Amino acid sequence: MSNRGPVATHRSSTGIPTGRLATWWVVASEIFIFGGLIACFVLFKLNGTPGFEDASKTSVAAGAFNTFVLLTSSLTIVLAHAAIESGERKKAFNYIWCTIGGGIVFLIVKTYEYSGKIISGDTITENLFWSFYYTMTGLHALHVIGGMVIMALISFDILKGYNFQRVELIGIYWHFVDLVWIFLFPLFYIANF
């Protein structure tokens, strides 16, 4: 590991490495952001707000496929972590790029869904359901894109031989992004009443 930075960074009073601890706090703060949006959505839905039956218009097949893709990419990032634990840098690099590939497939499907809906007139201003749909899946997609960019940066770092611990950290984040989707999928695709 690099010797740069202050002593503070390398201390560990809790026994948890600083990077991991901070990543969990990032995840905690994200939970409240997505939690706020999900709570708003659920409250409107339970209130019987008109328009929420439009959930039947979203394609369960596309959503299920995307769920499968994201879950698989979570597996590959775990494999990348396992590989870097045993020092196999090239293998970890490949697994990270498998994960990024999963993210790309996810976004392609998402783009296909968005464009189809916009063409058929279900835009963000159509009704509250679609407002929530685009806001929440859009915010989630931004998190996917951010995760992919960071992963790409990390992949080259580990090839050069430093910051191995960051594979675990991006893995924690990626699992969180995955988990958010696990909530969004039933809300927007399955619960069409």
Output the smallest distance, CB 3 to other proteins, in A.
10
Among 107, 128, 150, 172, binds other proteins (CB under 8 A): 128
**88, amino acid identity:** E
Give the C-alpha separation, 146 to 186, whole Å. 24
Spell out, one character per residue from 88 to 107, where the chain touches other proteins: x when CB under 8 A holds, - when not: --------------------
If phi > 0 it is left, if psi is from -120 to 50 it is alpha, else beta; for residue 149 that is alpha
Q: Choose between 88 and 126: whose C-beta lies nearer to other proteins.
A: 126
40 is a contact residue toward other proteins (CB under 8 A): yes
Output the smallest distance, CB 107 to other proteins, in A.
20
Give the C-alpha separation, 63 to 192, whole Å. 13
Among 1, 46, 125, 161, binds other proteins (CB under 8 A): 125
Q: Is 120 helix (H, G, I), strand (E, B) or coil?
A: coil
Footprint on residues 1-30 left by other proteins (CB under 8 A) = 5-14, 16, 18, 21-22, 25-26, 28-30
Q: Which of 72, 59, 47 is nearest to 133 (CA)?
A: 59
**CB of 134 closer than 8 Å to CB of 174:** no
Stretch that binds other proteins, among 40-48, 85-93, 102-110, 174-182 (CB under 8 A): 40-48
138 Cβ contact list (under 8 Å, min separation 6): none
Q: Choose between 38 and 104: whose C-beta lies nearer to other proteins.
A: 38
Output the smallest distance, CB 184 to other proteins, in A.
14
Number of residues that bind other proteins (CB under 8 A): 40
**39, amino acid identity:** A
Q: What letter does residue 57 receive in the DSSP assignment?
A: G
* Residue 43 exposed, middle or buried by CB count within 10 Å (0-12, 13-18, 19+): exposed
Name the site residues for other proteins (rule: CB under 8 A).
5-14, 16, 18, 21-22, 25-26, 28-37, 39-40, 43-44, 49-51, 124-125, 127-128, 131, 135, 139
